[in-house]
Amino acid sequence: MERADSSGITTSTRPDAPAGIGRRAALLSGAAMALAAGAAPARAQSKPSLTVAVGTDLNTQDPCRVAGGNDYYFFANVFEGLYGPDEEGKPAPLLAESHTVSPDGLTYEFTLRPNARFHNGEPVTAEDVRFSWQRAVAPETRNPRASVLVANIADVEVLDDRRCRVRLKKRDASFLDNCGEYWYIISKKHVQAAGENPFDRQPIGTGPFAFVERRPRSYIKLRGFEQHWGRVPAFGEVTLKIVPDDQSRVAQVQTGESDIVVNVPPVLAAPLQRLPNIQVIRAPSFQNVYIAINALNGHPGLRRADVRRALNMAVDKAALLRATMLGFAQPLELPCHTNIFGCDVQVTPYGYNPDRARQILREAGFDFNRPLRLLGQGTGRVPQARETLQGVAAFLNRIGVKTEINMLDYGAWISAYGAREKDPSVDMVFANFTDYNGDPSGRLLRQVRTGGTYSWYSNPEIDAMLDRMNDFASVEERQQFVRGLIARLHEEAPLIPLWTLDSIYGVSKRLSWKPTPNVSWPVLWNVRRAS
């Protein structure tokens, strides 16, 4: 196929295929580019185009209504916060140039980059920062994720065009980490001029890519933002094609119709690796797969920490990872990946030891006659979800624990897993949890604190530690504290951690790209043409 961009320069991706498939699309977006307010200098039009095949459509284009991890392939490329992930996945200043924190950790003063601009060409000002907070917390916005960060902001004070002071209601050591995913900076002028639902037609952000057009369930077109403060992409037009079927999505890169495919399932990654024109690139994500243990009201034996540790010993995670994931994941010992803040603590691994596990269960008076009822994800959003739970059950059977598996579709599964009152007829749940950034506080609150959405565990001591976790001004002190908490959780074993998934991409060899690690979506600004 040949793709022609609007200036007529073609990037030949597959010379033997009929030309013309992309022509109409190129014309369309060319017109849209010309329309975009003063933000498409000639340089952008001479750049080649890039096509990326993704699996799902967006839920929303409004940064205050992000519904979940699936939406981030859009937001991570089109919007930015004051802080966000750098190329190594660590928090780094994005729209902010620098910041200072008061000794009590309650006041942050940010200086904005002088050359930060919105896609409509307007400079990013402190007033926009203030407005972004106001809109994110306004009740009428109905921001479903306001509770994580913006609701804790007492005030944003505009000092001058480029400087603002953010005062927090209570200390939050995860504040900067969360700025990337929970507080996108939007343009006050744009929102006020656009009326109701300002992001539906024109989602204007500051990211390395600007929105061009979208056809729901077919594609989203973006273009490289030439006036970006530093992350200027090597590509002009970028098409995010929505191809839900795994096999068909992978075929996109085999035929050259797409340059990158995201979410390649492990079973398709291995054969793809053998093709001459394609590279399979994997990056550690923060998508964790584990088994939650019902320590609240399930099988009475599960209320004992020694029993839960024994169940961890019963499962040969390395073998399971090889067999079901074909090695495309990183084994987990702790509830979170070692790149998560405070999760780099050294502990004695549970180790695979079925004999010892059986012995502990006997000593604890575990009722072997009562089967453990396992809840699984039938229709998968997680690769190999069925096989993984079946494998875990088989390992439990090996130490004499009977199991019953109930596979549910995603909706029924998440309703049961996140139910306010946990179902006593469920003993274990196959679960996945995506960390949006390197700070563990938000997820631990939901995952193990008493009453947390996904918590099947309750322990006042752990609750007290969780409540203190963000109340530190010193990073070092906090790190020590979180390490202690994670080590305690390892002893308490409210979960059987299995692995962290790799993000697997099929990428044309004409490109060179280092996907940002520790995020679970493609960040595309650093895709380059291979030299």
Partner 1 sequence: MARFILTRLGQTLVTLALLTILIFVLARLTGDPTPLVLPSEATEADRAFFREQYGLDRPIHEQYVVFLRNVLHGDFGISFRYREPAFNLVLMAIGPTLQLAGVSMLVAVMLGLPLGIAAALRPGSWLAAAVRAYASFGQAVPTFWSGLMLIFLFAITLPLLPSSGYGEVENFVLPAVTLGFYASASVTMLTWANMTEALRSDFVQMERVLGIPRRLIVLKHALRNASLPIVTYLGLQFGLLLGGAVVTERVFAWPGVGQMLVDAILNRDYPVVQAAVMLTAVLVMTINLAVDLLYAVLDPRVSRS
Binding residues for partner 1 (CB under 8 A): 1, 14, 16-18, 20-21, 24-25, 59-60, 65-68, 142, 144-145, 147-148, 197, 215-218, 241-245, 247-249, 251-252, 254-257, 379, 409-412, 414-415, 418, 420, 442, 446, 453-454
What is the DSSP secondary-structure string of 410-440? HHHHHHHHT-SSPPTT--EEEEEEE-SSS--
Q: Could you tell me what percentage of the chain is helix, strand and coil, using 3-state DSSP and rounding each to the nearest 5? A: 30, 25, 45
Collapsed DSSP state (helix, strand, coil) of residue 522: coil
Query: H/E element holding 309?
Result: helix 305-314
Residue nearer to partner 1 on the CB measure, 1 or 313:
1
Query: Which of 230, 279, 203, 245 is CA-nearest to residue 94?
Result: 230
Residue nearer to partner 1 on the CB measure, 326 or 412:
412
Smallest distance from partner 1 to CB 24, Å: 7
Residue nearer to partner 1 on the CB measure, 192 or 197:
197
Sequence length of the chain is 531
Smallest distance from partner 1 to CB 177, Å: 14
Residue nearer to partner 1 on the CB measure, 249 or 490:
249
Smallest distance from partner 1 to CB 477, Å: 27
Smallest distance from partner 1 to CB 197, Å: 8
- Separation CA 110–CA 98 (nearest Å): 6
Smallest distance from partner 1 to CB 74, Å: 14
CA angle 316, 320, 321 (to 5 degrees): 115
For 345, list phi and psi in degrees, rounded to 5.
Answer: -80, 145
Smallest distance from partner 1 to CB 147, Å: 5
- Separation CA 99–CA 111 (nearest Å): 6
CA angle 498, 503, 504 (to 5 degrees): 115
Smallest distance from partner 1 to CB 276, Å: 13
Query: H/E element holding 241?
Result: strand 237-242
Residue nearer to partner 1 on the CB measure, 217 or 528:
217
Residue nearer to partner 1 on the CB measure, 251 or 487:
251
- Separation CA 405–CA 428 (nearest Å): 10
- Separation CA 300–CA 291 (nearest Å): 17
**Pair of tokens at residue 425:** 């007829």
- Separation CA 420–CA 332 (nearest Å): 27
Residue nearer to partner 1 on the CB measure, 16 or 104:
16
Residue nearer to partner 1 on the CB measure, 218 or 474:
218
Query: Which of 512, 470, 507 is CA-nearest to residue 176?
Result: 470
Smallest distance from partner 1 to CB 337, Å: 18
Residue nearer to partner 1 on the CB measure, 338 or 415:
415
CA angle 507, 512, 514 (to 5 degrees): 85
Residue nearer to partner 1 on the CB measure, 146 or 315:
146
Smallest distance from partner 1 to CB 10, Å: 17
Smallest distance from partner 1 to CB 209, Å: 21
- Tell the burial category of 342 from Cβ atoms under 10 Å away from its Cβ (0-12, 13-18, 19+): buried
Give the pairing of strands 329-331 and 495-508: antiparallel
How far is the CA of 104 from the CAs of 98, 108, 169, 417, 436, in angstroms?
A: 18, 10, 12, 38, 26
Residue nearer to partner 1 on the CB measure, 243 or 340:
243
Smallest distance from partner 1 to CB 133, Å: 17
